[in-house]
């Protein structure tokens, strides 16, 4: 048998393969992942390394002069420049306003729309549609709606006897207006995530709890809410990160004003880099934002791991 095989192989002139099966599998695997790896290196890791380097220089985009300044830009942001803390505070105010509002609204909508009833698909579509609407169109339309006396929002309020403020021209109201319009735009995404999580909870849990005498509120608080915890954590983190990165709404609706009342970190970085051409300083700010978002992600991973255990 072995002889026959040897003869057969030599007759066909076959040689031992150049790569072992294991090596061939490794090569194939790398070929499959290479598009992603190349993209990651070119568009994520490369720029990240570049930003780290830029953040250690004083580089003016106009004069094209670059000087290595060490951690000066970081020291500038954290201790010398009062604007940074004001901007950071605005970012946190934006996040703390948006995240609870978005999440609670998303949960309420999901609870209402997770069970089948006539028209449920229509309502889900209505609440999800803004998510896929152009952010630019959304912001511009709302900018018109929120105009002082001429705006549709204030005209509606006037019908019920409320004298609405000039939403986008008063610092405190501008922040509220930006948060609310952003929530309306993005709440559909979290609603869908919550609907998926709610539909994954077996109906028997609710039936068992109801038979044991639990009220609707008790069922929600003692059964549904704990079972939603992993989803809530994910939604919390992605919404928090998203709110830190908000740019388009601010750029189009308030431009960071009035009186820097809506000047948040991402928009401030844009201004420093592309308006005032302080690329080094903007890069240092971007790194600080990266660290904040990274820290939030790490916290999420730790909490999830603990939750899974």
Contact set with another protein (CB under 8 A):
202, 204-205, 207-215, 218, 222-223, 226-227, 229
- Closest separation between CB of residue 208 and another protein, Å? 4
Q: 42 Cβ partners below 8 Å, 6+ apart? A: none
Is 145 or 234 the residue whose CB approaches another protein more closely?
A: 234
Token pair recorded at residue 55:
């953040």
Is 47 or 226 the residue whose CB approaches another protein more closely?
A: 226
Compute the distance between CA of residue 82 and CA of residue 35 in angstroms, rounded to an integer. Answer: 43
Q: 22 Cβ partners below 8 Å, 6+ apart? A: none
Compute the distance between CA of residue 103 and CA of residue 107 in angstroms, rounded to an integer. Answer: 6
- Closest separation between CB of residue 201 and another protein, Å? 10
Q: Is the dihedral of CA 153, 98, 179, 199 positive or negative?
A: negative
- Closest separation between CB of residue 107 and another protein, Å? 17
Is 43 or 225 the residue whose CB approaches another protein more closely?
A: 225
- Closest separation between CB of residue 223 and another protein, Å? 6
- Closest separation between CB of residue 106 and another protein, Å? 21
CA 151-157-162 angle, 5° bins: 120
- Closest separation between CB of residue 202 and another protein, Å? 6
Is 195 or 219 the residue whose CB approaches another protein more closely?
A: 219
- Closest separation between CB of residue 226 and another protein, Å? 4
Is 155 or 215 the residue whose CB approaches another protein more closely?
A: 215
Is 161 or 202 the residue whose CB approaches another protein more closely?
A: 202
Q: Which of 292, 298, 236, 238 is nearest to 264 (CA)?
A: 292
| Contact assessment for residue 307 and residue 229, using Cβ atoms and an 8 Å cutoff | yes
- Closest separation between CB of residue 227 and another protein, Å? 6
Cα–Cα distances (Å) from 220 to 111, 200, 212, 305, in that order, read 10, 15, 14, 24
In the DSSP assignment, the letter for residue 224 is I
Is 183 or 235 the residue whose CB approaches another protein more closely?
A: 235
- Helix extents (H) in the chain: 2-12, 21-40, 46-54, 72-75, 82-113, 120-132, 135-145, 152-159, 171-199, 203-211, 216-219, 225-227, 229-244, 248-253, 265-270, 279-308
> In 3-state terms, what secondary structure has residue 65?
strand
Is 14 or 211 the residue whose CB approaches another protein more closely?
A: 211
| Contact assessment for residue 253 and residue 177, using Cβ atoms and an 8 Å cutoff | yes
């Amino acid at each position: 048998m072995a002889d026959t095989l040897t003869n057969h192989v030599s007759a066909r002139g076959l040689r031992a393969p150049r790569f072992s099966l294991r090596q061939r599998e490794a090569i194939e695997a790398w070929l499959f992942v290479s598009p992603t790896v190349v993209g990651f290196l070119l568009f994520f890791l490369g720029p990240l390394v570049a930003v780290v380097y830029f953040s250690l220089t004083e580089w003016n985009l106009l004069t094209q002069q670059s000087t290595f300044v060490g951690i000066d830009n970081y020291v500038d942001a954290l201790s010398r420049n009062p604007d940074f803390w004001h901007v950071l505070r605005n970012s946190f105010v934006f996040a703390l306003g948006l995240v609870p509002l978005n999440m609670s609204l998303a949960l309420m909508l999901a609870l209402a729309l997770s069970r089948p009833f006539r028209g449920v698909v229509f309502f889900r579509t209505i609440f999800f549609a803004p998510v896929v609407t152009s952010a630019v169109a959304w912001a511009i339309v709302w900018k018109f709606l929120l105009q002082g006396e001429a705006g549709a929002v204030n005209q509606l309020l006037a019908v019920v006897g409320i004298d609405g403020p000039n939403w986008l021209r008063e610092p405190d109201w501008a922040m509220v207006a930006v948060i609310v319009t952003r929530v309306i735009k993005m709440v559909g995404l979290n609603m869908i995530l919550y609907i998926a999580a709610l539909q994954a909870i077996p109906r028997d849990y609710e039936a068992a709890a109801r038979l044991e005498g639990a009220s609707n509120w008790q069922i929600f608080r003692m059964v549904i809410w704990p079972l939603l915890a992993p989803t809530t954590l994910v939604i919390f983190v992605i919404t928090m990160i998203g709110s830190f990165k908000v740019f388009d709404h601010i750029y189009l609706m308030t431009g960071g004003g009035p009186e820097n009342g809506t000047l948040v970190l991402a928009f401030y970085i844009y201004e420093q880099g592309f308006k005032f051409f302080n690329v080094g300083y903007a890069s240092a700010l971007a790194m600080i934002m990266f660290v904040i978002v990274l820290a939030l992600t790490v916290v999420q991973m730790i909490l999830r791991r603990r939750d899974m255990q």
